[in-house]
C-alpha cells in the first residue's frame, strides 16, 4: 500500500510569498515562521547565502521598533 508521500510525489505545493517585514515587534514571530515554512518547502537544497538573501529581500525597512 503506497504511503501518502508516495501518492503525492511530484505534486506542487503552493505557498504564499511573504509580505514585506512590517517592523512591528508583535509580528516578528509570524514573519519568522512564515519564512521558515517557505524556505523548507520552496527553497530546499540551496546554499545558506541564497536563503539569507531571499529573507533579506523582505526586510527592506530597517530594524524592529520595540
2 lies in some domain:
no
Q: Is residue 50 in some structural domain?
A: yes
Is 15 within a domain? no
Domain count, the chain: 1
Supply the pLDDT for residue 1.
45
DSSP letter, residue 12: -
Q: What does pTM read for this prediction?
A: 0.64
Q: Is residue 28 part of a domain?
A: yes
Query: What are the pLDDT digits (tens) for 23-61?
Result: 888 888 988 999 998 888 888 889 999 998 888 888 876
Task: Look at residue 47 in the predicted model and tell me its pLDDT.
Answer: 93
Decide if 30 is inside a domain.
Answer: yes
Its domain, for residue 38, covers 23-61
Instruction: Specify if 13 maps to a domain.
Output: no
Give the span between the Cα atoms of 11 and 26, in whole angstroms.
Answer: 34
Cell (9 digits) for 18: 511573504
Q: Is residue 12 part of a domain?
A: no
Grouping H, G, I as helix, E, B as strand and the rest as coil, residue 28 is helix
Q: Give the Cα separation of 42 and 60 in Å (integer).
A: 21
Domain assignment present for 29: yes
Amino acid at each position: 500500500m503506497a504511503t501518502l508521500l508516495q501518492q503525492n510525489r511530484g505534486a506542487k505545493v503552493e505557498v504564499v510569498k511573504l509580505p514585506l517585514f512590517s517592523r512591528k515587534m508583535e509580528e516578528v514571530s509570524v514573519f519568522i515562521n512564515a519564512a521558515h515554512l517557505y524556505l523548507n518547502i520552496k527553497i530546499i537544497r540551496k546554499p545558506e547565502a541564497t536563503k539569507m538573501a531571499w529573507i533579506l529581500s523582505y526586510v527592506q525597512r530597517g530594524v524592529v521598533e520595540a
